[in-house]
Amino acid sequence: MLLKANRLRELALGPVLMLLGLASAGAAAAGDKVNQVNMAPGATEIGQSIYDLHMLIFWICVIIGALVFGVMFYSIYYHRKSRGVTPSTFHESTKVEIAWTVVPFLILIGMAVPATSTLLEIYDFDDAEMDVLITGYQWKWKYEYLDENGENVSFFSNLRTPQGEIYNTADKGEHYLLEVDEPLVIPVDTKVRFLVTANDVIHSWWVPELAVKKDAIPGFINETWTRASTEGIYRGQCAELCGKDHGFMPVVVNVVSKDEYAGWLETKKAEAAEIRDLMAQTFTLDELMTRGKAVYERNCLACHGANGEGGVGTAIAGSAVAMGDVSGHLEIGINGVPGSAMQAFGGQINDVEMAAVITYQRNAFGNNMGDMVQPIDVYNHKKG
Amino acid sequence: MGDHHHGPAKGLSRWLFTTNHKDIGTMYLWFSFSMFILGGAFAMIIRAELFQPGMQLVEPAFFNQMTTLHGLVMVFGAIMPSFVGLANWMIPMMIGAPDMALPRMNNWSFWILPPAFLILAGTLFMEGGAPNFGWTFYAPLSTTYAPPSVTYFIFSIHVLGLSSIMGSINIIATVMNMRAPGMTYMKMPLFVWTWLITAFLLVAVMPVLAGAVTMMLMDIHFGTSFFSAAGGGDPVLFQHIFWFFGHPEVYIIILPAFGVVSQIIPTFARKPLFGYDSMVYATAAIAFLSFIVWAHHMYTVGMPVAGELFFMYATMLIAVPTGVKVFNWVTTMWRGAMTFETPMLFCMGFLVLFTIGGFTGLMLSIAPADFQYHDSYFVVAHFHYVMVAGAVFSMSAAVYYWLPKWCGRMYNETMGKTHFWISFIGFNITFFPQHFVGLAGMPRRIPDYALQFADFNMMSSIGAFIYGASQILFLYNVIATIVAGKPTSEAKTWEGAEGLEWTVATPAPYHTFETPPQVR
């Protein structure tokens, strides 16, 4: 039926699009998904059942539509006054009314049966082989692989598309707006359970080809799952309006072989161990400044400006916070300013990064406070 | 009472202090049209930004304000008041009453509307901008994370709700008490029936909306945590309350449209409505069902499976009475003697496009499939097929149908038909491709999109500009008719028209049915 739909598209839409001169060259880069007109069955069994259900109901609607519109257009053509017809006066027929109440009802039962069975399949969360905690943030996703031994691996997944592409100063890449710095990696043929929540407002985690869409709600944890049967990269987006950059928090899932996944997980665990080692170190001011600059550019620059001059956020150059008490500065960095755009970064960057960026803010942009924050200070501040 | 026969007062005071249902109806209609233009302008900004991938005209933050205000203005400012205006004009004339039952309240319920919308539109110029959380204003985006203007938005919603409740009480009181002798319930024109049921829906759900925004107000300013999990509240509770209002709300919008179509199709088919009784029962059934299906807007929030099943089955059931309506309209046309003046064309457009919107509605009711459709452009396409091609088309039909009666002048048929065809074509170019991008995975309410959606979005934007322009033609056509249309004094403008409104003089005098007619 997909073939049929494709053929239909070519036949019906091709000429229309050409007439309008819309066959844009830029879009061709995005590959076979360009001008996709129908749902994709995707890479999961559930996706296939949903697709079949969708097509079943679509065709039922097409048939009913053809009948109703057929009668209507027959009538419009043959029962028009200009053909000299005299109007009938018939009206009211209980038999007919009962018929067109009962028949649709039976058709609905026919639809409800497969719909129910697919729904029950989707709600079967048992026997998941691994769990991933997904947390929505304004405006990025955090993935945390829950490990039985407590060796959790977690990272943030941010939009990778450069501002220049968005603001049309650079050519748009193939996966414009659908690319991230670090995708979620899951193994093929494995039932992966997703626990979905949010840190601030409601988001919704959607990957069409994995047939998963679940709202991420602050304070609540939702369950959903997938089992991808084909390796590949699957792309989706946040589906629930979540503020300014709702359109700029894509989801990218990389489905890999089980071996590759195991290797990847080991690497991530090693990285995590490395960071734990770093936490115990004491850094020099220069080391902190170098690290801090990188952290600043990734996390702070968008709101506070390249030179700490401010923007959406307050200015950091010469600010009372950056030039005041260290613990007040740490407090804002770690816990944010509730009710404002200043987020709590305590859970988003690690203690080394936090120490570095606070140090950087206190010594860059002419602030020159000369003091330093070490990872242990961040740790102690978090402990209270 | 003979001495009190007088015409309207002169000047501005006529409009400010009027208690006349026709004057108030006229004001409602003009007000709603101006809101339609305003909401349309917001839509044009949205479509212009979406013309191509990349950010060109506005910033994402402003884009969100546009989608929010477009929805709010169209639902609460354009569609709802337009049907209240129509009710004001037509219900007394259709049931043989001299005026609405509560004329002073009628004046009040109109005149609080413009200030409410002034406040709402004024938020655009406030610090932090206008509401930017979508017309469905889900918490906590609309509470903890909202711009300061949210308080003005809440006040404005309260006032709109007040206006709607007063308007509905008035309609209920009028229909129940002021019918002419012999005008039994089951002889009332369907437009009156659908409005009576709509009015009950409004009285039932507007206070729920008021409750929702009051809880938001408390959360924002008085330290409560109704919708904040951190304080023991529940963000999903907001959605339950909102949609308990929101789902009946969509029937509040569409039922009067059903009423209009049920008046017009028999006129131009020159044949009585097939199945009047079942149309009344179907309307009542839809109204009842509208109260028990709200969570189909929330299939992805993580309801238990039993909840999903209940709301899925209940929602699917709506297809039955809706189907009954469509079958009855089509059967009314069958073996009639049809002509296709502008009102009939708009009704035919309604019938085809609303049915398509109904089909996509049925698809959306299927919970597992909705996991893919939800919050995608497929939903945007669906509700514009029912809201625009449903409510707005039928409203256009109503204006062309009754305009000669209102002003004693005939509109230009060629211009009317041109308006229809441009609207119909523009509408479909706009919204049909949105089904495709939605199914292909484009989420709604995004200011920028991936490259594979580019062609259909450009098409959609072009259609939107065409549709937008056709409404200017509509405005011109209406003004040209009022100012310089061909005068007509025929009581019955349309050969096949039935009903009391066609028994009074044309143009309808300032006061009608001061002596009630006898209905047999």
pLDDT of residue A380: 87
Q: What is the pLDDT of residue B468?
A: 96
Asked whether residue B513 is domain-assigned, the answer is no
Which residues of B carry out catalysis? 70, 99, 135, 163-164, 247, 249, 251, 262, 296-297, 322, 325, 444
A100 contacts B324? CB cut-off 8 A: yes
Q: Look at residue B317 and tell me if it is in a domain.
A: yes
Residue B2's pLDDT band, with cuts at 50, 70 and 90, is very low
Q: What is the distance in angstroms between the Cα of A275 and the nearest Cα belonging to chain B? A: 31
> Cα B23–B29–B30 angle (5° rounding)?
90
Return the closest-CA partner of residue B468 out of B511, B419, B514: B419
Distance, CA of B114 to CA of A35 (rounded, Å): 43
Q: For every residue of B453-464, which 3-state class applies, written as one string?
A: HHHHHHHHHHHH
| ipTM for the assembly | 0.93
Question: Which amino acid, one-letter code, is at A88?
Answer: S
Q: Which of A4-18, A155-169, B69-83, B432-446 has the lowest mean pLDDT?
A: A4-18
In a domain, B156, yes or no: yes
The answer to whether B141 contacts A82, with C-beta atoms less than 8 Å apart, is no
Measured distance CA(A172)–CA(A83) in Å, rounded: 58
Q: Among A26, A79, A200, whose Cβ lies nearest the Cβ of B338? A: A79
Which residues from chain B sit within 8 angstroms of residue A101, using beta carbons?
A: 320, 323-324
Contact (CB, 8 A) for A185 and A259: no
Which CATH code for domain A281-383? 1.10.760.10
Q: Which of A79, A92, A176 lies nearest to residue B333, judging by beta carbons?
A: A79
Tell me what pLDDT residue A344 has.
Answer: 85
- CATH topology for A130-268 is Immunoglobulin-like (2.60.40)
Provide the CATH number for the domain formed by A33-81+91-124 in this structure: 1.10.287.90
Q: Is the residue at B511 inside a domain?
A: no
Q: Which residues pair with A255 in a beta bridge?
A: A186, A232
Q: How far is B83 from chain A (nearest CA, A)?
A: 27
- Contact assignment for B451 to A91 by CB distance below 8 Å: no
- pLDDT confidence of residue A32: 65
Share of chain B above pLDDT 90, in %: 96
Q: CATH 2.60.40.420 in chain A: give the residue spans.
A: 130-268
- Quote the minimal CA–CA distance from A367 to chain B in Å: 30
Predicted pLDDT of residue B343: 97
Per-residue pLDDT of chain A (384 residues; tens, 9 = 90+): 444 445 445 445 544 444 444 444 334 444 568 889 999 999 999 999 999 999 999 999 999 999 999 999 999 999 999 998 888 888 888 999 999 999 999 999 999 999 999 999 999 999 999 999 999 999 999 999 998 777 788 899 999 998 889 999 999 999 999 999 999 999 999 999 999 999 999 999 999 999 999 999 999 999 999 999 999 999 999 999 999 999 999 999 999 999 999 999 999 988 888 888 888 888 899 999 999 999 998 888 888 988 898 877 889 998 889 888 898 999 999 988 876 778 888 878 888 999 999 999 999 998 988 889 999 889 888 887
- Mutation choice for A interface testing from B372, B373, B425, B429 by most A CBs within 10 A: B372
For residues B445-452, average pLDDT: 96
Looking at the partner chain, which of A29, A76, A104 has a beta carbon nearest the beta carbon of B323?
Answer: A104
- Please provide the size of chain B in residues: 520
Among the residue ranges A368-372, B41-45, B336-340, the one predicted with the least confidence is A368-372
Assigned domain for B26 exists: yes
- State which residues form the domain around B162: 12-502
Residue B77 lies inside a defined structural domain of this protein? yes
- pLDDT of residue B53 exceeding 70, the answer is yes
What pLDDT shows up at residue A273? 84
Structural domain includes residue B22: yes
d(CA A311, CA B400): 53
**pLDDT reported for residue A176:** 94
Q: What is the mean pLDDT of chain B?
A: 95
Number of structural domains, chain B? 1
| Residue range B84-129, pLDDT digits in tens | 999 999 999 999 999 999 999 999 999 999 999 999 999 999 989 9
Burial of B183 (0-12, 13-18, 19+ CB in 10 A): buried
CATH code: domain of residue B355: 1.20.210.10
B309/chain A closest Cα distance in angstroms: 7
Q: Is residue B47 part of a domain?
A: yes
Does residue B326 sit in helix, strand or coil?
helix
pLDDT of residue B506: 92
Chain B hits for A249, CB-CB cut-off 8 Å, are none
* Burial tier of B211 (Cβ tally within 10 Å: 0-12, 13-18, 19+): middle
Average pLDDT (B155-169) is: 97
Residue extent(s) of CATH 1.10.760.10 domains in chain A: 281-383
pLDDT of B5 reads 56
Among A79-93, B4-18, B167-181, the minimum mean pLDDT is found in: B4-18
Measured between alpha carbons, how far is residue A227 from residues A13, A46, A188, A251, B248 in Å? 34, 8, 7, 17, 38
Which of A372-376, B179-183, B288-292, B482-486 is the least confident region? A372-376
Under an 8 A CB cutoff, do A88 and B351 touch? Answer: no
Chain-chain contact of B441 with A208 (C-beta, under 8 angstroms)? yes
CB contact under 8 A, A178 and B144: no
